[in-house]
Amino acid sequence: MTRLTSAVFFAVLLLTFGYGVSFPLLSILLEQSGVGAARIGLNAAMPALGWLLVTPFLPLLHRVFTTQQLLLAFLILSLTGLACLALTTRFELWLLGRFAFGGGLGVLFRVLEYWLNATSSSATRGRTIGLYIFFFLLGIAMGSLSQPQFGTAGLTAFAAVGVPILLGGALLVSLPLNQPPSATPTAKVRLRRPLAVAPLAMAAVICYGLFEDVPAYLLSVYTLRVGLGENIAAYTLTAFALGNLLGAVPLGVMSDRLGRTPVLIGCATVALAVALTLPMAAATPHPYLLLIAVWGACAGALYAVGLATLGDHFSGSALISANALFGTIYAAAALTGPLINGAAMQLWSPHGLMLSCIGIFAAFLGMAALLARARQNPTTGQWENG
């Protein structure tokens, strides 16, 4: 690992520490203000709206602007949104602030992921992306775990979000990041190919996108409503992120050895089982948090292994364009998920949230079964690895 890459990963750690503090902080503040679950879900959908509007244009933006210029622009947008969140309590302005804060920071990470993909060799890309995910999740876990120490009152809580993001973003912008190769017209044509070449990867990112807001925003609210208290509610994201962090490398290695498809199906099956079990574990904090950690490992693998599947089929500028489609589908699902999950929780509080999760993972497993049937080799009876 080069010094440049090490500096990038340290910047990611700082950025995601601040981002991790924001997840339980914003959800708890909304809950304390009396906002209903459906409106919390709407607020949580704002970052994904930003990703959805910008991600399809990232290959074009890479041709027009340098990597540093893009990183700086999205950093400024994110910090402006955070200032809006800190200085107002009006829900309508919080929607705008959340759109700018989460959307800007999320697209910043997409730019960085494209850079890592484009500047890594095929021999080291998996390790590089794996380390990126590790530091990303480590920062989220540390930030979420630290949030109760900063509290929820006053500007101190928001400073705990903004200062690390400012420092990490400034470090990124100062680094000599080479411009990744621009997407060519040929690569644009290939945007249709991932749907045919790696349909299960696309189904996996849809599943994860629909589910993603649950640990980030709604699970802390669910925990409060089943009576486990504010501290346990704040630790739910930490438990989920730690499970995701600890499971990323072993499950990635397992997918290298056993194939992407069996790991995706196995992880979705375990995630479905956790959604069925969590309501029964809600009376005991430690088993409850342990189950959430298992959830994090298995649900998080859907995104990581799905992304690795794309890397199996694309490289260079074609990979950047394929990632744009992957990211756009992810953003569309992440925009829809909070609305579905928040509404389900509102209709049947609190366990409607678990019903929604059960439906998401069951739908993925149903899609996997249909794809396996359609792609079964009639001669050998073996499934293709997609």
**CATH number, position 221:** 1.20.1250.20
Residue 166's CB is within 10 A of a number of other CB atoms, namely 18
The mean pLDDT value of the chain amounts to 83
- State residue 287's pLDDT score: 92
Distance CA 181, CA 119 (A): 9
Greater confidence (375 vs 147) lies with: 147
Whether 64 is covered by a domain: the verdict is yes
Asked if residue 380 belongs to a domain, the reply is no
pLDDT higher than 70, residue 316: no
In a domain, 385, yes or no: no
Q: From the centroid of its chain, how far is CA 228?
A: 25
Least confident piece of the model among 125-134, 136-145, 247-256, 263-272? 125-134
C-alpha span between 302 and 272 (Å, rounded): 13
CA distance between the termini of the chain: 29
In a domain, 274, yes or no: yes
Residue 152 located in a structural domain: yes
Q: Which residue has the higher pLDDT, 302 or 179?
A: 302
Give the pLDDT of residue 26.
86
Predicted local distance difference test score (pLDDT) of residue 164: 96
Structural domain contains residue 383: no
Is pLDDT above 50 for 189? no
Q: Which domain holds residue 36?
A: 3-375
Confidence of residue 192 (pLDDT cuts 50, 70, 90): low
Buried-exposed string 103-130: b where 16+ CB fall within 10 A, e elsewhere: bbbbbbbbbbbbbbbbbbeeeebbebbe
Q: What is the number of residues in the chain? A: 386
Strand (E) or helix (H) holding 125: helix 125-150
Q: Percentage of the chain with pLDDT > 90?
A: 32
Q: What is the pLDDT of residues 21-79, one digit of tens each?
A: 998 888 788 878 877 777 877 787 788 888 888 888 887 887 788 888 999 999 999 99
350 prior amide bond cis, ω within 30: yes
Does the pLDDT value for residue 184 go beyond 60? no
Q: How many domains does the chain have?
A: 1
The answer to whether 215 and 236 are in contact (CB under 8 A) is: yes
Distance, CA of 312 to CA of 322 (rounded, Å): 12
From 33-42, 78-87, 202-211, 322-331, the region with the lowest mean pLDDT: 33-42
* Residues 204, 307: Cα–Cα separation, whole Å: 9
Q: Which residue has the higher pLDDT, 127 or 347?
A: 347
Burial class from Cβ neighbours inside 10 Å (0-12, 13-18, 19+) for residue 41 reads buried
On the question of pLDDT at 378 being above 60, the answer is no
Question: Is 15 within 8 Å of 165 (Cβ atoms)?
Answer: yes
| Residue (of 155, 109, 147) closest to 18 by Cα position | 147
Q: Which pTM value belongs to this model?
A: 0.77
Query: Which of 25-39, 223-237, 266-280 holds the top average pLDDT?
Result: 266-280
